[in-house]
Amino acid sequence: MPNDQVMVKLQLERMKETILHQFMLSSCSLSDQINAEIEKQIAAFDYQAEVEKVAKEVIAEGIRRYFSYAGPGREAINKAVAAALGELFGIVKAEE
């Protein structure tokens, strides 16, 4: 009976090695497939459109901030409006 136990143990070890080997092979194959798909997506990505989109968003946000907050843009607008009203109606004096 001890010989049978040794044989069973050896067979189980071989099965374990075979399973691990197959797992490693499938893992490599899966890794290759994932890398191929990543490369495909990178190649298909429209970088120019994304750069243009981000640039427009950044410029729009910069303009909005310049004119929205109590900064030089807002002061410039107030002065221009006051000057225009002063010229049109003679009632508002432009700040200097």
What sign for the dihedral angle of Cα 32, 33, 38, 41?
Answer: positive
**Confidence (pTM):** 0.42
Q: Give 67's DSSP letter.
A: H
Same domain for 36 and 51, yes or no, is: no
- The tens digit of pLDDT for each residue in 43-75 reads 898 989 998 999 999 988 888 877 776 677 778
Cα 87 to the center of its chain, rounded Å: 50
Whether the pLDDT of residue 96 is over 60: the answer is no
Rounded to an integer, what distance in angstroms lies between the CA atom of residue 92 and that of residue 84?
9
Per-state percent for the chain, helix, strand, coil, to nearest 5:
85, 0, 15
Same domain for 24 and 57, yes or no, is: no
Same domain for 74 and 40, yes or no, is: no
Q: Which domain holds residue 36?
A: 1-45
What pLDDT is recorded for position 70? Answer: 66
Q: Give 65's DSSP letter.
A: H
